[in-house]
Amino acid sequence: MSETLQINSVTKSFGRLVAVSGVSLQVKPGTVYALIGPNGSGKTTLVNCIVGLLKPDKGEVLINGIDIQKKPITAKHLFSYISDNPAIYPYLSGLEFIRLSAKLHGLSQDETENKLTELKKIFPIEDILESRTESYSRGNIEKTAFLSAIIANPKLLVIDEPIVGLDPTSVETFGESLRQLTRSGSSVFLSTHTLSFVKKYADMVGIIHRGKLIREMKVGPKTNLEEIYLEETS
C-alpha cells in the first residue's frame, strides 16, 4: 500500500534564509502525523509546500503517488486543507460554504445532503449554519472549515494549527473526529504547538528545528513528549 503523503528531500529558501532543508517523511494511510517545532522552524513553509501554495526549490511532494507540482489539479482533488486562519466566504452561510466545498470535490447533491446529516452531529452548531459566516466567532469559523474539509472524505487532510480558538470540549470532539476519519482510511497531517493534543491523537510525530526534520517517533499517552521536545530543540 502506497503512502498517502510522501515528501522527498524538500528544500525551500527565501533569499538566504533556508526555511526547510532536505526534509523527507511519509504518512501512511489511516494515520495521524503531527509536525511540531518552535516558531520559525519551518512548519508552515513545509505545509505550504505540501498543499501546493509554495514550490520547493528541491525535492518533491507526492499525494497518493501524484506529484502536486506536476499534476496539481489531480493531486488537489485528493486532499483538503485547513490553514491556521481559515478563509471562508463571509457572504455565504455555513451551510452554503460546506455545500460549495462538496460541489468542488465532485459530490452530488444527494451525497452532499446525506453527508451533511452526519456532519451536523459532530459539532452543536446547526443553529448558526444558516447565518452568514461573517457573524461567526473564531471557534465557529474553525468548526465550519473542518466540516467543509471532511465532507468529501479526502485521502489526506492537512491542517496548520488545528485547535486555535476551540474550547476544551470542541478540542476533544475535533480529536475524536480525526480518529474517525482515519478509521475510514484517510490520513491526517497536522502542524501544531499543542503537545497534549499530539500525545492523545497522533500516531507519529516529527520534530522540525531550524528547517530540518531532526526526529521522528511513534507517540502515545505515556510518551514524555515535552521532555523529548525540549531536548531536541534547546
User: For 203-213, what is the mean pLDDT?
Assistant: 97
Residue ranges making up the domain that contains 125: 84-153
Based on the domain organization, do 69 and 159 belong to the same domain? yes
Based on the domain organization, do 159 and 233 belong to the same domain? yes
Based on the domain organization, do 19 and 112 belong to the same domain? no
We report the CATH number of the domain holding residue 160 as 3.40.50.300
Is the pLDDT at 185 greater than 60, yes or no? yes
Based on the domain organization, do 159 and 210 belong to the same domain? yes
Q: What is the pTM of this model?
A: 0.93
Based on the domain organization, do 71 and 90 belong to the same domain? no
CB 147 within 8 A of CB 98: yes
Based on the domain organization, do 60 and 160 belong to the same domain? yes
Give 83-108 pLDDT, tens digit per residue.
988 888 889 999 999 999 999 888 99
Annotate 179-216 with b (16+ C-beta within 10 A) or e (fewer). Answer: eebbeeebbbbbbbebbebbbbbbbbbbbbbebbbebe
* The predicted structure's pLDDT at residue 24: 98
Is the pLDDT at 11 greater than 80, yes or no? yes
How far is it, in rounded angstroms, from Cα 234 to Cα 7? 26
Based on the domain organization, do 21 and 70 belong to the same domain? yes
Based on the domain organization, do 66 and 16 belong to the same domain? yes
Based on the domain organization, do 124 and 63 belong to the same domain? no
* The predicted structure's pLDDT at residue 161: 87
What is the chain's mean pLDDT, rounded?
92
Based on the domain organization, do 159 and 147 belong to the same domain? no
Based on the domain organization, do 115 and 42 belong to the same domain? no
Total domains in the chain come to: 2
Based on the domain organization, do 53 and 104 belong to the same domain? no
User: For 112-138, what is the mean pLDDT?
Assistant: 87
Look at residues 125, 153, 181 and tell me which one is the last residue of a structural domain.
153
Give 154-171 pLDDT, tens digit per residue.
999 999 988 877 889 889
User: For 170-190, what is the mean pLDDT?
Assistant: 92
User: For 131-158, what is the mean pLDDT?
Assistant: 92
